[in-house]
């Protein structure tokens, strides 16, 4: 191939890639990873969600809060996780809690003691359902806390 042909081929490939777009649609909103950075996407049923972890004296204090705009039911599953390595987080034994409310607000607070050294976070999964049966599932990870 000559230099002009190579340049033309490269230019054509760049044009093809720059004009390629993908359109997706989901019937229910599902978010699998949101960091608590103060920016939240818009939802139809959900007003706000948060997940927080504080470790004081070797005791993890886990808090998960959700508020719905049109929700008639909220289920939250809260799990304390420990960093294993290679981007792998493992659930801590005995540190998963679930609560369901029939109102548009939930605040789940739990503690876990006897933690070993390492890095921890809280995974909070919220399922908000409206009167028509439509639901939104949102998973949020808390800030990370280390124990030496």
**pLDDT of res. 71:** 80
Residue 39 buriedness (CB in 10 A; 0-12 / 13-18 / 19+): exposed
User: CA 96 to CA 35: how far, in whole Å?
Assistant: 20
Say if residues 145 and 55 touch (Cβ distance below 8 Å).
yes
Q: Does the global pTM surpass 0.75?
A: no
Domain positions in the chain are 28-147
How do residues 77-117 score in pLDDT, each as one tens digit?
999 999 999 999 999 999 999 999 998 899 999 999 999 99
Say if residues 36 and 52 touch (Cβ distance below 8 Å).
yes
**pLDDT of res. 61:** 97
User: CA 75 to CA 98: how far, in whole Å?
Assistant: 7
- CATH number assigned to the domain covering 28-147: 2.60.40.10
How do residues 13-50 score in pLDDT, each as one tens digit?
554 444 443 333 333 444 444 444 555 567 788 889 99
Tell me which residue has tokens 């081929």: 9
């Amino acid at each position: 191939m000559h230099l002009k042909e190579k340049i033309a081929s490269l230019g054509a490939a760049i044009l093809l890639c720059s004009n390629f777009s993908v359109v997706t649609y989901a019937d229910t909103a599902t978010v699998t990873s949101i960091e608590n950075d103060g920016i939240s996407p818009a939802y139809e049923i959900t007003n706000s969600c948060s997940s927080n972890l504080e470790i004081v004296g070797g005791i993890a204090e886990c808090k998960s809060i959700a508020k719905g705009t049109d929700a008639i039911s909220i289920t939250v599953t809260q799990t304390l996780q420990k960093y294993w390595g290679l981007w792998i987080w493992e659930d801590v034994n005995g540190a998963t809690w679930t609560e369901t409310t029939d109102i548009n607000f939930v605040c789940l607070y739990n503690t876990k003691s006897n933690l070993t050294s390492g890095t921890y976070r809280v995974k909070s999964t919220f399922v908000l359902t409206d009167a028509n049966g439509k639901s939104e599932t949102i998973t949020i990870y808390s800030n990370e806390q280390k124990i030496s």
